[in-house]
């Protein structure tokens, strides 16, 4: 009794576990809808199921089987088929799909289950319904990396120009080609029959040059949809046929081309729908109904070394090499550095050109200061000198008019004019002084009636005396004006005679005559040397 209850509880736990697994396995939402498969044709997906598949055993074939998501781990999905009977026994078929998204409308996938000989090498597992499949490894037992070719899922009503990708760089250019299906040769000795330069995502065959169909297309226009690169220079390419309709006999919506770049020629094979296992299909060998193709390059980018670095598990949207990217970055850095250096040099030269005039003036000033005592006008600002007319500067300042009637002798400053000694004149005799020399004082309209006009001193006419005066450092120049009063003139004349008598020993009082009586003369002010 206890053993029976134990079995009952175990059955409940197993049933609950299986139900839990089923409830947690769902497909991606972008996978919902109807897709064209390169292997199975049309497949419908919803959140938990997809179908229909056909499975053929040694005894019979089961068609239109729907599979339900059973276990999910990462990109791998284990699905269980509907129940079917073989010799009155109930079975489930299990399948593992490893699905990878290329875009919302495009996927590639592998059958990740090893082949089953009893099911015509189909990649499925068939277990009695009593067998519990609780681990994903019970079904997904194909080792990775996969040696089998990939398959494609493309959602219906997809705009193909939005999903196409650039073809491999080794296939971009202009080519002539020849084809052989194992029995006949086609399109030999043609030129520019293939154009992959005008649009690098489209293989455009010119059927005017050769009207034999290639790659199962009636129009000769095929789009690169996806490819992998199993090895250097070798590509597995899935092509989408641009025909409006296909019959799946002579024309197919999908085709596979195995392409390998050579030195002068490139080699390829074609097969309908999808590529075959590498053991039966390569770039030169393919089973029927496939065909082999030889491409001869005539012009275009493929003359350059291949720079493609595609991953073996993903289609290449662009062919950009790491070397070219690195070179571009280095070139950009060098350009920026050179530009900065040029800007700095230009700024320094500009600054130097602005400072150069001041520097040159400074150097010229220094150089000239060593050789001459002259001050360079550019180095030192020249002050405007006030031009002084020395002849217009009288030594004796006339006294006010009221002092004329005093008749008192004027007092001389002995510090400047010492009649007994020349010490007062010695320091200044080397310079030029102006002494007033008078002549023609005009009329005496200011004298009273009966008063005689005082004798007027005349300009010294003796050249000998003038020469002595010049030797003594005294320059005789006429006064700027003769408007001085007669009394002042007489006093100044006396002083002039006395000064000349003192300087010239040969002249005496008898020669010059008796001096006039003392009269009131002007006050005298010492004159400082203001010569510039």
pLDDT in tens, 240-295: 999 999 999 999 999 999 999 998 899 999 999 999 998 999 999 999 999 999 99
Digit-coded pLDDT (tens) for 38-71: 998 999 999 999 988 888 887 788 888 899 999 9
Average pLDDT, the chain: 73
Check whether 32 has a pLDDT greater than 50.
yes
Check whether 435 has a pLDDT greater than 80.
no
Number of neighbouring beta carbons within 10 Å of residue 214: 22
Dihedral sign from CA coordinates of 196, 198, 202, 205: negative
Element (H, E) at 79: strand 76-81
Residue 416 pLDDT? 40
The region of weakest confidence among 65-74, 218-227, 407-416 is 407-416
Check whether 183 has a pLDDT greater than 70.
yes
Q: Are 416 and 528 in contact (CB under 8 A)?
A: no
Element (H, E) at 237: strand 234-241
48-87 as b/e: b if 16+ CB within 10 A = eebbebebebeeeebeebebebbbbeeebbbbbbeebeee
Cross-strand pairs, 258: 236, 269
Q: Which two tokens stand for residue 215?
A: 């790659």
Check whether 336 has a pLDDT greater than 60.
yes
Grouping H, G, I as helix, E, B as strand and the rest as coil, residue 192 is coil
Q: Which two tokens stand for residue 448?
A: 């009273």
Stated pTM of the model:
0.54
Q: Are 18 and 92 in contact (CB under 8 A)?
A: no
Q: Give start and end residues of each alpha helix (H) in 302-401.
A: 322-371
Between CA 41 and CA 53 the distance in angstroms is: 9
Residue 359 pLDDT? 52
Percentage of the chain modeled with pLDDT above 70 = 56
- If pLDDT is split at 50, 70 and 90, which confidence band does 483 have? low
Digit-coded pLDDT (tens) for 371-412: 544 444 444 445 444 554 555 444 444 555 544 444 444 444
Q: Which two tokens stand for residue 63?
A: 């068609």
Residue 486 pLDDT? 63
The candidate with the shortest Cα–Cα distance to 493, out of 519, 525, 529, is 519
Rounding to the nearest 10 degrees, give the CA dihedral for residues 51, 53, 59, 60.
70
Percentage of the chain modeled with pLDDT above 90 = 42
Q: Of 153-157, 207-211, 401-405, which one has max mean pLDDT? A: 153-157
The region of weakest confidence among 9-13, 266-270, 498-502, 519-523 is 9-13
């Amino acid at each position: 009794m206890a053993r029976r209850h134990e079995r009952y509880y175990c059955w409940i736990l197993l049933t609950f576990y299986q139900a839990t697994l089923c409830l947690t396995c769902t497909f991606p939402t972008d996978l919902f809808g109807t897709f064209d498969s390169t292997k199975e044709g049309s497949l419908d997906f919803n959140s938990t199921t997809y179908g229909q598949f056909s499975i053929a055993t040694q005894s019979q074939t089961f068609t239109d089987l729907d599979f339900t998501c059973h276990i999910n781990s990462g990109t791998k999905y284990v699905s269980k088929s509907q129940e079917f009977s073989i010799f009155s026994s109930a079975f489930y078929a299990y399948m593992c799909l490893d699905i990878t998204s290329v875009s919302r409308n495009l996927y590639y996938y592998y059958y990740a289950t090893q082949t089953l000989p009893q099911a015509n090498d189909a990649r499925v597992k068939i277990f009695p319904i009593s067998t519990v499949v609780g681990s994903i490894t019970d079904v997904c037992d194909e080792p990775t990396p996969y040696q089998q070719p990939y398959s494609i899922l493309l959602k219906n009503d997809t705009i193909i120009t939005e999903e196409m990708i650039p073809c491999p760089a080794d296939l971009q250019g202009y080519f002539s080609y020849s084809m052989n299906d194992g029995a006949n040769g086609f399109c030999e000795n043609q030129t520019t029959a293939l154009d992959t330069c005008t649009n690098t995502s489209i293989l455009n065959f010119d059927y005017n040059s050769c009207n034999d169909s290639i790659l199962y297309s009636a129009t000769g226009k095929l789009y690169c949809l996806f490819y992998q690169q199993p090895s250097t220079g070798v590509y597995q390419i899935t092509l989408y046929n641009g025909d409006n309709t296909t019959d799946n006999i002579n024309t197919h919506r999908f085709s596979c081309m195995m392409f390998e770049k050579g030195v002068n020629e490139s080699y390829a094979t074609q097969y309908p729908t999808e590529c075959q296992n590498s053991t039966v299909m390569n770039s030169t060998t393919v089973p029927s109904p496939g065909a082999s193709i030889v491409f001869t390059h005539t012009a275009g980018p493929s003359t350059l070394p291949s720079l493609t670095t595609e991953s073996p598990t993903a289609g290449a949207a662009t062919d950009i090499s790491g070397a070219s990217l690195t070179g571009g970055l280095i070139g950009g850095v060098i350009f920026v550095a050179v530009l900065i250096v040029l800007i700095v040099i230009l700024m320094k030269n500009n600054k130097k050109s602005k400072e150069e005039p001041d520097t040159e003036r400074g150097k010229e000033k220094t150089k000239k200061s060593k050789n001459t005592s002259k001050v360079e006008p550019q180095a030192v600002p020249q002050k405007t000198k006030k031009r002084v007319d020395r002849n217009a500067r009288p030594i004796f300042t006339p006294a006010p008019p009221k002092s004329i009637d005093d008749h008192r002798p004027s007092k001389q400053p002995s510090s400047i004019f010492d009649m007994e000694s020349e010490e007062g004149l010695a320091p200044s005799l080397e310079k030029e002084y102006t002494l007033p020399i008078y002549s023609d004082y005009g009329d005496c309209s200011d004298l009273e009636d009966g008063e005689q006009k005082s004798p007027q001193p005349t300009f010294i006419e003796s050249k000998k005396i003038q020469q002595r005066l010049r030797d003594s450092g005294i320059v005789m120049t006429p006064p700027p004006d003769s408007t001085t009063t007669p009394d002042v003139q007489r006093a100044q004349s006396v002083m002039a005679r006395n000064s000349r008598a003192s300087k010239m020993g040969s002249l005496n009082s008898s020669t010059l005559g008796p001096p006039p009586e003392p009269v009131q003369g002007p006050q005298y002010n010492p004159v400082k040397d203001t010569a510039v």
